[in-house]
Structure 1
Amino acid sequence: MSDPQHCQVITATDSRAVAETLADTAVAARLAASAQVAGPVRSTYWWQGEVVAAEEWRATFRTTVTRYAELEEHIRARHNYDVPGIVCMPIVAGYAPYLKWMAAETKER
Structure 2
Amino acid sequence: MTRTNGKTASSESNTQLLPNRITVVGRGVPSNFELSVAGDIEMMTADPVKEATVVTKNAVEGSIEVGVQRFRFSGELANIHVTDWNGVEGAESASTPTIHVDYGVPEQ
Q: Normalising by structure 2, what TM-score?
A: 0.37
Q: Normalising by structure 1, what TM-score?
A: 0.37
Q: Which has the higher strand share?
A: 2
Q: Which has the higher helix share?
A: 1
